[in-house]
Chains A and B, each alone.
Chain A
Amino acid sequence: GIQVEQSPPDLILQEGANSTLRCNFSDSVNNLQWFHQNPWGQLINLFYIPSGTKQNGRLSATTVATERYSLLYISSSQTTDSGVYFCAVEKYNFNKFYFGSGTKLNVKP
């Protein structure tokens, strides 16, 4: 399978701060998604981003497929951003996703 590594594993921020989360993967992929798991366990789709850059409000993501990594940027963090952020990749024709171990974010007021 594909190895997916996320860093940092834990992150504590003061409200209003910015952060960058990283996802490295061990093989070429044709699909990459970022998810936010809220404290109630629900997984929310943030980005479908196999390559390039996307922005959605205070969040943006960049994937450099040739170098096998993706970055998730959170600006002006809020307490509601707390939770675990997962990166998941899928290799063409495998039809299944491999998840990283996640980054646990705690935003303090």
Chain B
Amino acid sequence: SAVISQKPSRDICQRGTSLTIQCQVDSQVTMMFWYRQQPGQSLTLIATANQGSEATYESGFVIDKFPISRPNLTFSTLTVSNMSPEDSSIYLCSVVPSGGLPYEQYFGPGTRLTVT
């Protein structure tokens, strides 16, 4: 398994501003993902954070809006840029630990974002 922390745990932001969310893991991991969960909805994958290279974005998500960094195997950031109220969601970091099978995913506690 893996112990994952996210900062901040919650924030209230004004529209037009940006927020950077941090994800820290206690061990090196193979894969890191960022998800968005809008109120009352399921999880939607934003992107796969690739170590040392550009993230791989899912359809409907773009780098200008959600820039992602992953400088090493234990840390990643997601920025929500030029925010609008529609960006109010829980943002979750997830990881798949290194070491082969099982390919089991673990989640951080999430960042609850409210945009006013």
Residues of A within 8 A of B (CB): 30-31, 33, 35, 41-43, 45, 48, 86, 88, 90, 95-97, 99-102
Given contacts A95-B31, A96-B33, is CB(A45)–CB(B104) below 8 Å? yes
B110 and A41 form a contact (CB under 8 A) = yes
Q: Which residue of the partner chain A has the closest CB to B103?
A: A31
Interface of A is mostly: strand
User: Which B residues are in CB contact (< 8 Å) with A48?
Assistant: 102, 104
Q: Which residue of the partner chain B has the closest CB to A31?
A: B103
Q: List 29 A-B contacts (CB under 8 A).
A: A30-B103, A31-B102, A31-B103, A31-B104, A33-B104, A33-B105, A35-B107, A41-B37, A41-B110, A42-B107, A42-B109, A43-B92, A45-B1, A45-B104, A48-B102, A86-B42, A88-B43, A88-B105, A90-B105, A96-B33, A96-B48, A97-B33, A97-B45, A97-B105, A99-B42, A99-B43, A99-B44, A101-B42, A102-B42
B48 and A45 form a contact (CB under 8 A) = no
7 A-B pairs closest in CB distance: A43-B107, A99-B43, A48-B104, A101-B42, A41-B110, A99-B42, A31-B103
Beyond A43-B107, A86-B42, A88-B105, 10 additional contacts (C-beta under 8 Å) are: A30-B103, A41-B37, A41-B90, A43-B110, A45-B104, A86-B43, A96-B45, A97-B33, A101-B42, A102-B42
User: Which A residues are in CB contact (< 8 Å) with B106?
Assistant: 45
User: Which B residues are in CB contact (< 8 Å) with A88?
Assistant: 43, 105
User: Which A residues are in CB contact (< 8 Å) with B92?
Assistant: 43
